[in-house]
Amino acid sequence: MKLKTVIIDDEPLAVDIIKNYCDTVAHIEVLSCYTNPVEAMSFINNNAVDLIFLDIEMPLITGLEFIDTLKHKPQFIFTTAYPQFAINGFEMEAVDYLIKPISYIRFLKAVNKVKMLGQEPIAKPQQAPVVSPVTEDTFLFVKSEHESLKIFITEIKFIEGLKDYLKINLSNGKYVLTLSNFKNLMERLPEKSFIRVHNSYIVNLNYVNSVQRNRIVIDNTRIPISESYKKQFFERIKI
């Protein structure tokens, strides 16, 4: 039995990402997508819908208010860039709460929480998602000290590990320090451009000037390629 699903978000790119993720899961059928929650309201009230992916912060009506308007409430998963709303979301019995930018792995965990008549977990895709968690013309937010900074992905040259911090080096010569780890950050970066080359480095291939034996040159920085990642790197660049 497929989960009949509706996606609602005022940002078209956010809708596209969730739609592409859903398309990789055999047991999800996306009935419709909306950037206008008022238009979605009529559809959901007049059709059999099992699950809604719903943005909380929208200009016409919030996701919390939207749920209250429905005659019959399907299961729903909130999506938002604002983690402070999580408590309100769970108080309304949301299945889960996804923080943007949403990684594919985190999406699967949320979908697997959806209970459909005692079925086994539904998300068992046979292949990787069609798109990376974010695309090259988008951005991500990273926590730095007491704020979350917006960073355009195309501006990231390379990322360096510094003990408990990651140093994100940008094309304008500036950098951002964050307490995130390599694994979490890699899940949010597009695979076609970013690759791990060392336990302490991720590089954006678009900024690589040259490769010198076991080193990568980006501007005036020489980045080592470790034995653990050497095969993967050279297969990727086909040298």
What is the CATH number for 85? 3.40.50.2300
Per-residue pLDDT at 220: 87
Per-residue pLDDT at 121: 45
How far, in Å, CA of 106 to CA of 102, rounded? 7
How far, in Å, CA of 182 to CA of 166, rounded? 8
- Where the chain has pLDDT below 70, the residues are 83-92, 115-137, 239
The token pair that represents 189 in the structure block: 């970066």
Task: Give CA angle at 180 (174, 185), nearest 5°.
Answer: 85
Domain that holds residue 54: 3-111
Per-residue pLDDT at 117: 36
The token pair that represents 26 in the structure block: 């055999």
Per-residue pLDDT at 115: 55
CATH of the domain at 204: 2.40.50.1020
Do the domain assignments include residue 127? no
Percent residues over pLDDT 90 in the chain: 44
Do the domain assignments include residue 75? yes
pTM (whole model) above 0.85:
no
Do the domain assignments include residue 132? no
Per-residue pLDDT at 239: 52
Residues 85 and 182 in one domain: no
The token pair that represents 228 in the structure block: 């653990």
Do the domain assignments include residue 170? yes
Per-residue pLDDT at 123: 52
Residues 92 and 171 in one domain: no
Per-residue pLDDT at 132: 43
Q: What's the full length of the chain, in residues?
A: 239
Structural domains counted in the chain: 2
Q: Which helix (H) or strand (E) holds 105?
A: helix 104-111
Amino acid at 199: N
